Amino acid sequence: MTPPTELKRSLSLTQITLYGLGTILGAGIYVLIGKVAGLAGLYAPLSFVIAAVLAALTGLSYAELSARYPKNAGEAVYVQKGFRLRRLSMLVGWLIILTGVVSAATIANGFVGYLHVFVAIPDWFAITLLVLLLGALAAWGIAESVMAASLITLVEVGGLLLVLFVAGGSLGDLPARLPELIPPADGGIWLGIMMGAFLAFYAFIGFEDMVNVAEEVKDPARILPLAIIIAIVVSTVLYLLVSLVAVLALPPAELAQSRAPLALIYERATGSPPTLISLISIFAVVNGALIQIIMVARVLYGMSREGWLHGAFGKVHAVTQTPLLSTAVATAIVLALALWLPLVTLAKVTSFIILIVFALINLSLVLIKQRHPKPDVIRVYPVWIPITGFLAATGFVLFQIYQMTGK
């Protein structure tokens, strides 16, 4: 009997770091910086800092868990190891799938805003063509997909550096305008900042996707934790600088009205058409959507291999060495959601669901640490990190529920 085809271990530290950085950068800062500024005003950079702290706490928990259990469908496995409740683990797996497809749909919507700089075609046609092409690339092969994602990530970083270069002169005004960026002790202002932080948190989603390709990483117990930390640090620095430049260069209300905010900043700073930055932005949002589709397919694959889904989702094609059925299903759901829901709604839904998952992941690590406090070889972090991560994620969830209910 021929043994089933396995996933291919081909990803290095550089590749998996760029993979994670690509999905972190691809959506948030290119698409949502204007929306965050619309909520938080001049205090948008503070919203990004708050979101970064929450992401970093949970990121360290992911770093330790990925070393302990380097398997696809990572979150579902972590919750199973922590709570030992099959149904809860399956629920977490489905929540991760849901956040992946909703996130990819969010990014596909963001793609249209920058595409309109070049050509005015119907939104539905642009979204459909984009999602189907990305699904085909994800099915082609993990090495090819991640190579494409890595190259585009370098373009994304270059685009942010370009914005900082052309509009960075506004940072020279920072010492004089710093008092404007420090919020007073006003409840209404801080409410806007926290609402902005909730939306900005979406910009950091992506590092968790890295654990869901663990079985395709070389030496994952060593490489994955380091890659997660590098991706979060780099994205935080870039987000803080770009958000500062954005609010110093343009009024927040004007940023909030733009579907292509970085293109607007570039145009105002240079007086030239925003052709280059718009082109880079298109690549950036495409990259984020590609990585989300890959991630969802791998979670479906991992859940199948754990016996939580039909075996067909766990089959790997002998030629592409990718799970073709899982990739096709992920692509179809992304397309349906992208055509159905608007961008900000998609981003808020994604953030809400992933915060629930993050709370469970942090709590799982606390439980695992109680049973196995010091495993051999791998690096462990103090227990206060997952506890604080749990409290922060839960607090954000409760805050959003408060906002939705108006109570």
Please report the pLDDT score of residue 343 as a whole number. 57
Q: Which among 104, 107, 134, 129 has a CA at the least distance from the CA of 119?
A: 129
Higher pLDDT, 185 or 356: 356
> Helix 74-83 crosses helix 275-305 at what angle (to 10 degrees)?
50
Please give the average per-residue pLDDT across 338-360, as a whole number. Answer: 77
> Helix 275-305 crosses helix 142-167 at what angle (to 10 degrees)?
140
Please give the average per-residue pLDDT across 188-202, as a whole number. Answer: 86
Please report the pLDDT score of residue 6 as a whole number. 64
| pLDDT tier, 275 (very low <50, low <70, confident <90, very high otherwise) | confident
C-alpha–C-alpha distance, residues 8 and 89, integer Å: 25
Higher pLDDT, 363 or 271: 363
Return phi, psi of residue 378, to 5°: -75, 160
C-alpha–C-alpha distance, residues 120 and 10, integer Å: 40
Other C-beta atoms closer than 10 Å to the C-beta of 365 total 28
* Res 249 pLDDT > 80: yes
* Res 113 pLDDT > 90: no
Higher pLDDT, 63 or 317: 63
* Res 217 pLDDT > 90: no
Higher pLDDT, 57 or 290: 57
Please give the average per-residue pLDDT across 227-237, as a whole number. Answer: 92
Please give the average per-residue pLDDT across 115-141, as a whole number. Answer: 81
Q: Are 300 and 96 in contact (CB under 8 A)?
A: no
Q: Are 269 and 249 in contact (CB under 8 A)?
A: yes
Higher pLDDT, 263 or 340: 263
* Res 30 pLDDT > 80: no
Tell me the pLDDT of the chain averaged across its residues: 83
Please report the pLDDT score of residue 5 as a whole number. 64
* Res 82 pLDDT > 70: yes
Please report the pLDDT score of residue 293 as a whole number. 83
Please give the average per-residue pLDDT across 52-64, as a whole number. Answer: 91
C-alpha–C-alpha distance, residues 344 and 158, integer Å: 26
Give the three-state DSSP class for 11: strand
* Res 323 pLDDT > 60: yes
C-alpha–C-alpha distance, residues 225 and 235, integer Å: 16
Please report the pLDDT score of residue 309 as a whole number. 80
The lowest-confidence range among 45-59, 136-150, 320-334 is 136-150
Q: Which among 35, 53, 57, 55 has a CA at the least distance from the CA of 44?
A: 35
Dihedral over Cα of 241, 247, 250, 254: its sign: positive
Percent of the chain residues topping a pLDDT of 70: 92
Per residue in 278-322, pLDDT (tens digit) is 788 777 777 777 777 887 888 888 788 878 888 888 888 777 777
Per residue in 362-402, pLDDT (tens digit) is 999 999 999 988 887 788 899 999 999 999 999 888 887 87
CATH class belonging to 13-405: mainly alpha
* Res 8 pLDDT > 60: yes
